[in-house]
Amino acid sequence: MPINRAAPDYELAEDVQVSSPAGLRAMAHPTRSVILDLLLERAATVSELAAAMDRPKSTVAHHVNVLVDAGMLKVVRTRRVRAIDERYYGRTARIFHVGAVAHPADNPMTLQPSCLAEAATEAAAAHEADELSGFLRHARITAERAQEFWRRVVPLLHEFNQLPRSGDTVYGFAVGLYPTEQPTLPEPE
């Protein structure tokens, strides 16, 4: 399966750490999350984003400005249209890591705020239509083993994130690793 490292159609960093309150607030809003996802495909104007999201341009412009102020979006090119400069926005990184750790592989609990709750909400319609593929498993392992497993998952997430954009359907890919209060069997006697 080819990895599309050239997409989107502008230069951006591979990953950026987001730990400031402004950056975390910017990422947490669902509209801004959609904008960030759309801009992984290519740079876009506020008008194009508004049309794709079926939202008013003023609303989308507000959210774009919040992301620009948080350092997550930037103007990647402009185009002159009838005496007006049209700005094309792009992401500053392919992946935004949340938290204060150097890399998510260093901490298996580093997740986008409420990403699994958002995935569950998005997946409800696919579940109803019997189009949902998913697993939930539990394993009693050490913290070191959990971190090692997470390091192996992160490249798969990167691969999914860099797939060439095509087709008519947007698919979600949710992954998480977290401690639970699941019961465990006692050690055998």
Residue 107 predicted with pLDDT over 60: no
Q: What is the pLDDT of residues 125-144, one digit of tens each?
A: 887 888 877 777 778 788 89
pLDDT at 7: 61
CATH architecture, range 13-161: Orthogonal Bundle (1.10)
pTM: 0.62
- Work out the angle between the directed axes of helices 46-53 and 30-38 (0-180°, nearest 10): 110
pLDDT at 171: 84
Distances in whole angstroms, Cα of residue 186 to Cα of each of 136, 143, 146:
22, 19, 21
What residue ranges do the domains of the chain occupy?
A: 13-161
Distance from C-alpha of 128 to C-alpha of 140, rounded to nearest angstrom = 31
Residue 110 predicted with pLDDT over 80: no
Q: What is the pLDDT of residues 55-102, one digit of tens each?
A: 999 999 999 999 999 999 999 998 888 888 899 999 998 888 775 444
